[in-house]
Amino acid sequence: MSVNPELRRLDIDIPSQPQSLVQLSLLLAEENINLQAASALIETDMALAAAVMKAVNSSLYGLKGRVQSVHQAITYLGMREVAAITFEMGLRAAFPPTPELEPLWQRAAYRGLLMGRLGARLSLDAWAAHSAGLFEECGKAVLLRHAPEHYRAMLRAAGSDTELVSLEHAGFGVSHDALGAALCESWGLGAAAVASVRHHVEAQATRVLPQALTRRPICALSVLAHAMGLAPEELDEVVATIAPQADLDATLVLRAARLTQDQLDSAAANGRG
């Protein structure tokens, strides 16, 4: 999809993709990924590799033994999840650390993992799903870096992302979903991930996939992940509503959601133990 060209005229800087992630993207695009080259690439950036290892060994993944290398992490988790962790750390590093961003990154890591595993279970593009979940709120980081005090006030005032989008349009002439999509596009993410980030606020609020959205399954997973986090008791209803809009089998989607949630809950319990 094409991000709104109006963004180019706004005085809001979108950070460029770190060179290590550019090279990793090229490796991921190969039909047969060279796992040794990918792990060596990540390990050439000591700060990035250390951050990746810290994330891999967190309770989110629930690994029973401590992972000692990036290659070992790939062996346990697979290339997609390690690549996504690497992109997460690169995204974090692109913005100054602030208290407001830490919960955003925590949500991003969990949502990306959730969407990626849902995508894998449903034979969808799991990398697009994982990266869409990871980058979903990154436009907020862009606006917080652009106007820290002004945007902090907006975050405090908004009761929902729908309200926040209205405040952003009034204050900046652009909203975080559009900025997030622009960042995704500039970092070379696929069209399905870009589209999901661009439309996630509307889709999550209404549980209706926009007519303009041609790549629907990944955005449907975004709606599903949002409901699993905020209203798990409504999961059956959300699946029944959203799955047909993306030509997904509701029974398979519900089964995948429950299995994935159980898997992540078990990982968190093992990690705490």
What's the pLDDT at 7? 53
Mean pLDDT over the full length of the chain: 91
Domains, the chain, ordered by start: 18-94 (no CATH), 99-273 (1.10.3210.10)
Please state, in angstroms and rounded to a whole number, the distance separating the CA atoms of residues 146 and 164.
Answer: 16
pLDDT, tens digit, for every residue of 44-79?
988 888 988 988 898 888 887 889 999 999 888 889
pLDDT tops 80 at residue 87: yes
Weakest mean pLDDT among 75-89, 100-114, 116-130, 220-234: 75-89
For 198, the token pair is 């661009």
- The residue length of the chain stands at 273
pLDDT, tens digit, for every residue of 196-229?
999 999 999 999 999 888 889 999 999 999 999 9
pLDDT, tens digit, for every residue of 129-157?
999 999 999 999 999 999 999 999 999 99
pLDDT band at 9 (very low <50, low <70, confident <90, very high): low
Nearest to 129 by CA among 255, 33, 260, 269: 260
Helix runs in the chain, H state only: 19-28, 35-44, 46-56, 70-77, 79-93, 101-121, 126-135, 138-146, 148-157, 161-172, 176-186, 191-206, 217-230, 235-242, 250-272
